[in-house]
Amino acid sequence: MRYGQIVIGPAGCGKSTYCQQIHQHCETIGRTVHVVNLDPAAEEFAYPVAIDIRELISLEDVMEEMKLGPNGGLLYCMEYLEDSLEDWLQEMLQDYTDDDYLLFDCPGQIELYSHVPVFRTIVDTLKIWDFRICAVYCLDANFVSDSAKFISGTMQALSAMVMLELPHVNLLTKMDTVPDKKEIDRFLDFDARLLANDLNQSTTSSMQRLNAAVATLVDDFSMVGFVPLDISDEDCIIDVLAQIDFAIQFGEDAEVKIPNDDVDEEEGGEGPQESGDCDY
């Protein structure tokens, strides 16, 4: 069994930074993680790239040869990847065996996860190849500065969840850049109907039925919740990785180690320790 994260989200939301930090953290604790670049428009990387889609196709070449714009060119690249899964991606992944852990750093065009079936095909194929996959949806915490923007981000995440049908962890990234973290607290455990009331105060009366419908939709699905990620806080990184590992049951076959409390006390220890949590 192989394991992986599909790291998705809008452009500029911190997907590559997340992959860098997870790779760096795992390297520090002696855990092997490989990063796969699935963004044909990527130019520079802060992490070692194990597999690079640009060896198959690049956005720059497609735009030049096909006379397409950035969005059309990116969609063409991903459809080309979809057609080349067994010819290219399967061959690239064949060297990774049981218990290998891969991060798939994906493009920032959200239509790929909510409207077109490209990534649904990719994740379904990875399942057939004996991967356990979790989708990690990144949303810039600075984007959720008010209820309207937060509802928009929530609907984007919900669309991806419904489309991909995977274990799913939604992250509020870039928490280290948020001026007042207390402003984000109400979005971490949010009530969609209260957010709809906020929307009613900032929109005309003609929009109230739409606001109520959106709130009801989010409440009815009851699927979307966000986990804060502050890359300057090691406890946050540990907490996020632990939640994802739990979602895909990574390490479930490892031998359970039961701490010996008597030995700990005799040696002056403090007994078993719990992992730290983010201070949010």
Q: Which residues pair with 139 in a beta bridge?
A: 172
Distance CA 159, CA 156 (A): 5
pTM to 2 decimal places: 0.86
Domains and CATH numbers, the chain: 2-190+225-266 (3.40.50.300), 192-222 (no CATH)
Under 8 Å between Cβ of 240 and 200: no
Coil, strand or helix at 7: strand
- Binning pLDDT at 50, 70 and 90, where does residue 263 land? very low
The per-type count for the chain, helices as H runs and strands as E runs, is 12, 7
What would the mean pLDDT of 189-209 be, rounded to a whole number? 83
Task: Give the model's pLDDT for residue 279.
Answer: 66
Q: Best-predicted range by mean pLDDT among 130-144, 215-229, 253-267?
A: 130-144
Per-residue pLDDT at 256 exceeds 50: no
Per-residue pLDDT at 145 exceeds 90: no
Task: Give the model's pLDDT for residue 148.
Answer: 81
- Binning pLDDT at 50, 70 and 90, where does residue 203 land? confident
Distance CA 58, CA 183 (A): 40
- The answer to which of 30-39, 71-80, 247-256 has the lowest mean pLDDT is 247-256
What would the mean pLDDT of 97-114 be, rounded to a whole number? 92
Distance CA 119, CA 97 (A): 22
Query: Residue length, the chain?
Result: 280
Under 8 Å between Cβ of 77 and 62: yes
Per-residue pLDDT at 162 exceeds 50: yes
Task: Give the model's pLDDT for residue 66.
Answer: 94
Task: Give the model's pLDDT for residue 266.
Answer: 46
Task: Give the model's pLDDT for residue 272.
Answer: 39
Distance CA 20, CA 86 (A): 27
- For the chain, the average pLDDT equals 87
Q: Which residue has the higher pLDDT, 154 or 252?
A: 154
Under 8 Å between Cβ of 155 and 199: no
Q: Best-predicted range by mean pLDDT among 25-39, 214-228, 247-261?
A: 25-39
Q: Which residue has the tokens 């966000």?
A: 226
Task: Give the model's pLDDT for residue 36.
Answer: 97
Q: Which residue has the higher pLDDT, 230 or 218?
A: 230
Distance CA 128, CA 268 (A): 50
Under 8 Å between Cβ of 174 and 140: yes
Task: Give the model's pLDDT for residue 253.
Answer: 62
Per-residue pLDDT at 182 exceeds 90: no
Distance CA 100, CA 88 (A): 19
Task: Give the model's pLDDT for residue 241.
Answer: 95
What would the mean pLDDT of 51-67 be, rounded to a whole number? 96
Per DSSP, the residues of 66-125 read H---HHHHHHHHHHHHHHTIIIIIHHHHTT--TT-EEEEE--S-THHHHTSSHHHHHHHH
Q: Which residue has the higher pLDDT, 89 or 98?
A: 89
Paired tokens of 102: 């891969």
Distance CA 208, CA 215 (A): 11
Q: Detail the DSSP E strand segments found in 211-269.
A: 226-228
